[in-house]
Amino acid sequence: MIIHNATFMVRKDMEAEVILWLKGKIAGLMNDELAGMGEGTNPRVSAMREAGGVSHEHADAASVAFQVEFPSLHAAKIWSERSFSKLADAFGEKFGPEGMVFTSLFEVV
């Protein structure tokens, strides 16, 4: 199994706004039969609460992750190109210089 992880980083005061926005976008993906989630399952949003022993309350930025599980690397890459790229573009348009997103693919071992 492959996990497509996207981490959205914004100013701390924007975390709640990003979470609401992201959940709305995910609901849209789940309802889109053409592009939507593709072969992706178990979409989830999580917020970082500690990194390297430092509480999110003392961090300079908020990190919100969106993860989706895929049966293969190929399926994850197709979804990323067809669907996730649009979400990432929309994030850039809405949150612009106040936010950034980066992706990674993990294999469950």
Q: What is the mean pLDDT of the chain?
A: 91
In the sheet with 41-47, reading across from the earlier edge strand, the strands are 41-47, 61-70, 2-11, 99-107
**Residue range 47-79, pLDDT digits in tens:** 999 988 877 887 788 999 999 999 999 999 999
CA separation for the pair 46, 41 (Å, rounded) = 16
Domains of the chain: 2-107 (3.30.70.600)
45 strand-pairing partners: 66
**Residue 34: is its pLDDT beyond 80?**
no
**CA dist 96 → 18, 66, 72, 88 (Å):** 12, 18, 32, 11
